[in-house]
């Protein structure tokens, strides 16, 4: 069994602690900082066995060193192309590789775009848990996507397209709470989308009560996130292009200046 604990840190980051209550093993996805993870593990009485990094940015790996000092046997995973950029990285993953935690297999997606080395982890449903979990770092956000720091629009379209193949009820654990501002932008380009308008209202209320909007679901992203909808008639029309990379590039450029 794998419980997922969401820890808000820094301005708007989330760290995810994975915990198996049967074995008392823990793992962490993108530890921006170490202290709250150590506190969480201590309160659970759990031992850290794995750090799963999605990419090298400091707000995703900043806690690696200190966590490994506290748990020297924990294994640090990251993308193959991130060699030399992730502190204490030991395993260099590529598309199709598998990781394991708590008897669950996590499939690795290579999803360049935000960075040239970005990966995501997908834990498929099991008999104890009928929903899958996607840890996508800064590639897909609820209602948006990561900026293109080291990749091209075509790469990001390919990367996001991999996520569109996942079941609609897959939980999306993205690394930042950007949902409200993402949806404000989304409405400016896809404002006749009734699913989007409903979602905006839900998210506005949740955030006004300081509630998290993560995890999202793949099915919701496919219906409301313009960055997952480059082939929808409404988004194509709003961008004035047909070709996926061009629709996406225009959208990303507009969001960068929003």
Q: Which is nearer to Fe ion, 2 or 136 (CB)?
A: 136
- What x-and-dash track marks residues 79-118 binding Fe ion by CB under 5 A? ----------------------------------------
- What x-and-dash track marks residues 123-152 binding Fe ion by CB under 5 A? ---------------x--------------
Chosen residue from 59, 81, 133, 190 binding Fe ion by CB under 5 A? 59
- What is the SS3 assignment for the chain? CCEEEEEEECCCEEEEEEEECCCCEEEEECCCCCHHHHHHHHHHCCEEEEEECCCCCHHHHCCHHHHHHHCCCCEEEEEHHHCCCCCCCCEEECCCCEEEECCEEEEEEECCCCCCCCEEEEECCCCCCCCCEEEEECCEECCEECCCCCCCHHHHHHHHHHHHCCCCCCEEEECECCHHHHHHHHHHHCCCCHHHHHHHHHHHHHHHCCCCCCCEEHHHHHHHCHHHCCCCHHHHHHHCCCCHHHHHHHHHHHHHCC
# binding residues, Zn ion (CB under 5 A):
2
Q: Which is nearer to Fe ion, 59 or 177 (CB)?
A: 59
Chosen residue from 138, 177, 190, 221 binding Zn ion by CB under 5 A? 138
Rule CB under 5 A: say whether 177 interacts with Fe ion.
no
Which positions are catalytic? 55, 57, 59-60, 114, 138, 176
Residues between 78 and 107 with contacts to Zn ion, criterion CB under 5 A: none
Q: Which is nearer to Zn ion, 28 or 196 (CB)?
A: 28
# binding residues, Fe ion (CB under 5 A):
2
Minimum gap (Å) between residue 59 Cβ and Fe ion: 4
CA dist., res. 24 & res. 44, Å (int): 8
Minimum gap (Å) between residue 175 Cβ and Fe ion: 5
Minimum gap (Å) between residue 60 Cβ and Fe ion: 6
Chosen residue from 14, 29, 54, 57 binding Zn ion by CB under 5 A? 57
What number of other Cβ atoms are within 10 A of residue 256's Cβ? 9
The binding site for Zn ion (CB under 5 A) comprises 57, 138
The binding site for Fe ion (CB under 5 A) comprises 59, 138
């Amino acid at each position: 069994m794998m419980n997922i604990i969401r820890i808000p840190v820094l301005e708007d980051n989330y760290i995810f602690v994975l915990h198996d209550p049967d074995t008392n093993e823990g793992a962490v996805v993108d530890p921006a900082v170490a202290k709250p993870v150590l506190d969480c593990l201590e309160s659970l009485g759990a031992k850290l066995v794995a750090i799963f990094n999605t990419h090298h940015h400091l707000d995703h790996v900043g806690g690696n060193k200190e966590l490994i000092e506290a748990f020297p046997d924990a294994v640090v995973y990251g993308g193959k192309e991130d060699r030399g950029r992730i502190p204490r990285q030991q395993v260099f993953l590529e598309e199709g590789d598998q990781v394991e935690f708590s008897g669950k297999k996590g499939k690795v997606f290579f999803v360049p775009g935000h960075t040239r080395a970005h990966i995501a982890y997908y834990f498929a449903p099991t008999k104890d848990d009928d929903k899958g979990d996607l840890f996508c770092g800064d590639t897909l956000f609820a209602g948006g996507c990561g900026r293109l720091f080291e990749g091209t629009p075509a790469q990001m379209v390919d990367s996001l397209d991999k996520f569109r193949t996942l079941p609609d009820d897959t939980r999306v654990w993205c690394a930042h709470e950007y949902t409200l501002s993402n949806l404000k932008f989304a409405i400016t380009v896809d404002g006749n989308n009734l699913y989007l308008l409903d979602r905006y209202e839900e998210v506005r209320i949740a955030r006004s009560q300081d509630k998290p909007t993560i995890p999202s679901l793949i099915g919701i992203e496919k219906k409301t996130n313009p960055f997952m909808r480059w082939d929808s008639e409404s988004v194509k029309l709003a961008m004035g292009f047909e070709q996926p990379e061009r629709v996406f590039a225009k959208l990303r450029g507009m969001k960068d200046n929003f």
